Structure 1
Amino acid sequence: MTGERKVTIIQYPKCGTCRAALKSLQSKGNQVVSRHIVEETPSSEELKRIVADSGLELKKFFNTSGEVYRELGLKDKLASMSEDEKYELLASHGMLIKRPIVTDGRRVTVGYKEEEYEQIWNKGKG
């Protein structure tokens, strides 16, 4: 299959890292659907699918450097929470989720590393 690949980026538009990721995706010829992580926060069920598709641990999806994470004192609380409680917490506040999340419905990346984007999201070129 050739042509544009459709990907969804779940991001915060004011975030510089998210803007760089979006620009990178577009420059690689992807058709990008952008979702505002606060206005359209993924549900607990959607997050479960995203985490499963990513192959990463759930803790990788927490924005540990964010203000909300610190305000809620989650560094000390997460260890005693159940997995379902963690998903519900992430779904309750978009700013707790590490961003950007990019998915094509099969693969998922979290955060932005140009080398990773080159490998995963640039397959249609060349």
Structure 2
Amino acid sequence: MHISEMFRRPAGKTDAVRTAYLEGRPIAALAREHGVSRGAIRTTVADLMPEHTAVGREDVPALELPVTLVMPGKVADFLRAAELEPAERAALDHGVTVRRGQSYTLRVSAIPSEHRGLLARCQSLDGPRAPQ
């Protein structure tokens, strides 16, 4: 294999790589899958990476990338019984259960705005606020 072939972008698969990256696939996994360097994948998705922002351009909305948060099982049970937006329900339903002795945690991957929605629904779990 010629050295230039080792560092090229995945030919004809740019859209698939970009979509997979937005869905949360790691750069290293994409590089292995397509037989190219991580640098080639980074170049392909450079404008999608968090450090690439639309500074000074109000016409371009900021891109929200999915993040994974871990919530206690009791919170997950509370949210499952609550009325949720469809995107919040989907994020909760696709969470990964991790057993912890007699209890469990739920790993939920979603964009930050969906996490904020779930967090807002948990406000009643805080109890009454003490006067300051």
Q: TM-score range by the shorter chain?
A: under 0.3
Relative contact order (alpha carbons < 8 A, sep ≥ 6): 1 or 2 greater?
Answer: 1
The structure number with the bigger radius of gyration is 2
Task: Give the TM-score taking structure 1 as reference length.
Answer: 0.23
